[in-house]
């Protein structure tokens, strides 16, 4: 007994044939002229509203847009799988500069750079380079050292903590810088470390609460979009009278976060706008060169930003002097932090 | 006889008419959605269509995107048709890519492309297949439902990949959790230069046709379909139900694993743990293709075209937001599913109305 025939295949085949019939008349993607304002494409792997790394990148590229009157195209949620296709498409349409925001774009950028001679490629957050690509290597270990000094001077319990999003070397380097800075002030200080997640505030919150339970009274977090959880834990602890508990921001200036600005004395900041602007200007002037660009305290991209509202009350002149001294030593090369 | 022939012709004509209506509806939907969102609708539709198929490069890009979807769609389709609810194509895809990257960057056999490429593809497929068998074993001998174990094994595969990419498979000189780039000589060859048309696309199409032939025209295919429809009946008919389920799970996992290997050697050429959600998307592809391997080819192409067009609309001067593009894509897919469902009901009704000659049950019965 034959069952009733199923006919999805002819239906879908006909649909596709019809679509192709319509599409076939369309012309190819035209390569646009390079004349006029700089054309920049910014590609990131997450959402530009994540409140962290990607949003910071978007804000930075908008600064470049404003300052150079450039045409900027922003594309979010691009996985490495899609990156080659997207970058090639931009290059074919005459974009002058393509910025891949994250190490995962390094190999795709290299693949496209091999054939797209007129377009320049920069990748932020990678630590190595490939032919035809400029890598922006951010070193937060130096600002982390300064934060360590501040933490040791703020802590009353002699216990401080670090929460990272992932135990990758660039984040672990922050911990090492932080611990080294703290021990330079108080050699007996205890520095705890934990790694949770970049995008799960609940995880980072419970970790911060565990730290506070252990008596830790200064927390340095580098968890990107999950930082909200740490701020909440600190705000709640201070509200319940356990405090004062302080927290440091990272990557962007988180001193004015809406949850606990009164307990956020400082942030280790990557000034992406400065780095992107410099690269865009190089492209415009024709001085762009592939390679690794160390972005650090020396060129003013990775710095500590103090919370101006807490200077004088929480941040004492002695602390400021200690920070200034450490910064001088770092800038002159007297002090070296392994990144 | 003539009546049946005329009936088939009528069915085909109505199918084409329905398809034309669907396409018109899809276009109208995209245009309408664009208008609602405040984007020039005609311009948006034009960008979307040109981006998906407006040039050889765009066409190749759409087909290359459809390739992994076709293989994970086949993985889901073949398994579902046999009643094995394999939701683990994502993990099997990742494992396939992981083994392929290991074989093409760390254990290159004699450094010969003729050997490395097939070894990596076969290795990826076998890895995906074996990963699928773990779930089937757990169901058969430990009473863990396949749905549950395959979902959980997806996470295990993800973390395994992360561990490998931060360990033995990590690229030298970087702190990033990613593999080294596969050497150019081990990339899948292109059959149209300067495009994304790599031979993996042909392999995937060939595999889909092969699976259709096996499913429709062999005893094995017949038995797997009976097992899928009613394992009790299959047992009563003395069919090796357990063996067929294990075999199908291996084939399903191998399809997804091959998808990962092809994606790695044909398109991406390096690996991170974020290789796209092709495994989960494959389920939607399989359902739209009605679990029929030929239908899955068309369904995967449809998804590939839709996806690539969306990216072109996002990166265009219109700057269509990613979330809006996703909303439009989702609505279009939903409409397609509804219309495909309606057409199926119509076909069934038509089938009931057609007088069938009394024939004994054979292996050619459509199940």
- Reported ipTM: the value is 0.74
**pLDDT at residue B9, as a whole number:** 58
Q: Which residues pair with A266 in a beta bridge?
A: A306
Q: Where are the domains of chain B?
A: 1-39+323-353, 66-319
Tens-place pLDDT, residues B273-332:
888 889 999 999 998 888 999 999 999 998 999 888 888 888 877 778 777 778 777 877
List strands edge to edge, sheet with A159-164.
A190-195, A159-164, A218-222, A246-251, A266-270, A302-306
Instruction: Give the residue on A whose Cα is nearest the Cα of B65.
Output: A82
Strand duo A120-124 + A97-101: pairing: parallel
Kindly state the helix (H) or strand (E) to which residue A270 belongs, with its residue range.
Answer: strand A266-270
Q: Do B315 and A170 touch (CB under 8 A)?
A: no
Tokens for A83?
């990156």
Which candidate from A8, A20, A104 shows the least CB-CB separation from B178?
A104
Domains in chain A, CATH or no CATH each: 39-138+272-295 (3.40.50.2300), 141-270+307-332 (3.40.50.2300)
Tokens for A268?
């280790």
Which candidate from A28, A45, A168 shows the least CB-CB separation from B177?
A168
Task: Output the CATH code of domain B66-319.
Answer: 1.10.3470
Report how far residue B269's alpha carbon sits from residue B290's, in angstroms, rounded to the nearest whole number: 32
Mutate to test the interface with B, among A13, A16, A17, A19 (most CBs of B within 10 A): A19
Strand duo A120-124 + A71-75: pairing: unpaired
Contact status, residue B123 vs residue B103, Cβ threshold 8 Å: yes
**pLDDT at residue A49, as a whole number:** 81
Mutate to test the interface with B, among A1, A10, A131 (most CBs of B within 10 A): A10
In a structure prediction context, what are the per-residue pLDDT tens digits for chain A, which is 339 residues long? 444 445 455 555 555 444 444 443 333 333 344 457 899 999 998 888 877 788 899 999 999 999 999 999 999 888 888 899 899 989 988 899 999 998 889 989 999 998 888 899 999 988 777 888 999 999 899 999 999 999 999 999 999 999 998 877 778 889 999 999 999 999 999 999 999 988 889 999 999 999 999 999 999 999 988 899 999 999 999 999 887 999 999 988 999 899 999 999 999 999 999 999 999 999 998 899 999 999 989 889 999 999 999 999 999 999 999 999 999 999 988 887 765
Q: Do B311 and A8 touch (CB under 8 A)?
A: no
Tokens for B253?
């996992």
- Which residue, among A116, A103, A92, has the nearest Cα to A45 in the 3D structure? A103
Mutate to test the interface with B, among A4, A92, A138, A140 (most CBs of B within 10 A): A4
Which candidate from B16, B292, B348 shows the least CB-CB separation from A4?
B348
> Across the 367 residues of chain B, what is the mean pLDDT of every consecutive 10-residue run?
64 58 65 70 82 88 95 96 94 96 85 89 97 96 94 95 91 80 93 90 97 94 93 92 96 97 94 88 90 93 89 80 78 76 76 53 39
């Amino acid at each position: 007994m034959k069952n009733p025939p199923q006919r999805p295949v002819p239906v879908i085949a006909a649909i596709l044939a019809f679509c192709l019939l319509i599409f076939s008349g369309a012309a190819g993607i035209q390569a646009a002229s390079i004349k006029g304002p700089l054309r920049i494409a910014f590609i990131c792997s997450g959402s530009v509203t994540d409140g962290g790394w990607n949003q910071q990148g978007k804000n930075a590229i908008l600064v470049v847009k404003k300052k150079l009157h450039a045409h900027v195209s922003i594309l979010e949620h691009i996985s490495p799988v899609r990156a080659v296709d997207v970058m090639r498409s931009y290059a074919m349409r005459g974009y002058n500069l393509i910025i891949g925001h994250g190490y995962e774009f390094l190999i795709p950028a290299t693949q496209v750079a091999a054939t797209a001679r007129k377009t320049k490629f920069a990748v932020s957050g990678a630590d190595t380079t490939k032919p035809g690509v400029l890598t922006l290597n951010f070193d937060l270990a130096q600002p982390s050292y300064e934060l360590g000094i501040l933490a040791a001077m703020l802590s009353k319990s002699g216990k401080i903590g670090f929460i990272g999003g992932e135990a990758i070397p660039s984040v672990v380097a922050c911990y090492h810088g932080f611990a080294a800075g703290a021990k330079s002030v108080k050699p007996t200080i205890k520095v705890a470390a934990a790694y949770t997640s970049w995008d799960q505030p609940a995880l980072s919150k419970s970790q911060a609460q565990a730290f506070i339970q252990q008596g830790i009274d200064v927390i340095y977090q580098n968890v990107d979009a999950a930082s909200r959880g740490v701020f909440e834990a600190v705000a709640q602890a201070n509200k319940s009278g356990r405090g004062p508990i302080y927290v440091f921001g990272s990557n962007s200036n988180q001193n004015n976060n809406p949850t606990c600005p009164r307990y956020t004395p400082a942030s280790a900041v990557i000034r992406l706008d400065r780095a992107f602007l410099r690269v865009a200007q190089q492209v415009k002037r024709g001085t762009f060169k592939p390679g690794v660009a160390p972005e650090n305290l020396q060129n003013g991209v990775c710095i500590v930003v103090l919370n101006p509202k807490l200077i004088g009350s929480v941040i004492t002149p002695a602390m400021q002097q200690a920070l200034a001294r450490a910064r001088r030593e770092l800038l002159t090369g007297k002090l070296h932090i392994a990144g | 006889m003539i009546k049946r022939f005329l009936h088939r012709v009528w069915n085909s004509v109505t199918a084409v008419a329905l398809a034309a209506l669907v396409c018109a509806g899809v276009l109208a939907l995209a245009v309408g959605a664009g208008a609602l969102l405040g984007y020039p609708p005609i311009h948006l539709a034009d960008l979307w269509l040109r981006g998906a198929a407006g040039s050889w490069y765009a066409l190749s890009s759409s087909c290359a995107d459809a390739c992994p979807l076709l293989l994970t769609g086949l993985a889901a389709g073949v398994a579902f048709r046999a009643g094995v609810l394999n939701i683990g194509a994502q993990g099997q895809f990742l494992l396939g890519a992981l083994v392929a990257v290991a074989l093409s960057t760390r254990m290159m056999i004699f450094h010969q492309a003729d050997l490395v490429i097939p070894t990596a593809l076969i290795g990826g497929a076998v890895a995906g297949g074996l990963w699928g068998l773990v779930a089937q074993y757990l169901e058969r001998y430990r009473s863990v439902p396949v749905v549950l174990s395959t979902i959980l094994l997806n996470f295990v595969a993800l973390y395994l990949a992360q561990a490998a990419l931060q360990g033995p498979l990590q690229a030298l000189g970087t702190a990033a959790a990613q593999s080294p780039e596969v050497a150019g000589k081990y990339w899948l060859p292109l059959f149209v230069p300067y495009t994304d048309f790599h031979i993996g696309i042909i392999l995937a199409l060939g595999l889909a046709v092969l699976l259709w032939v096996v499913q429709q025209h062999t005893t094995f295919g017949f038995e797997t379909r009976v097992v899928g429809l009613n394992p009790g009946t299959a047992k009563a008919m003395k069919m090796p139900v357990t063996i067929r389920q294990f075999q199908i799970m291996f084939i399903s996992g191998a399809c997804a694993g091959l998808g990962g290997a092809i994606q790695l050697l044909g398109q991406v050429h390096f690996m991170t743990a974020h290789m796209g959600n092709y495994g989960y998307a494959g389920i939607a592809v399989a359902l739209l293709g009605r679990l029929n391997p030929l239908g899955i080819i068309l369904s995967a192409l449809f998804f590939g075209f839709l996806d690539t067009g969306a990216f072109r609309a996002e990166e265009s001067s219109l700057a269509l937001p990613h979330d809006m593009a996703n909303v439009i894509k989702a609505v279009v897919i939903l409409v397609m599913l509804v219309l495909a469902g309606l057409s199926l009901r119509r076909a069934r009704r038509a089938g009931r109305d057609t007088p069938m000659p009394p024939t004994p049950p054979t292996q050619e019965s459509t199940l």
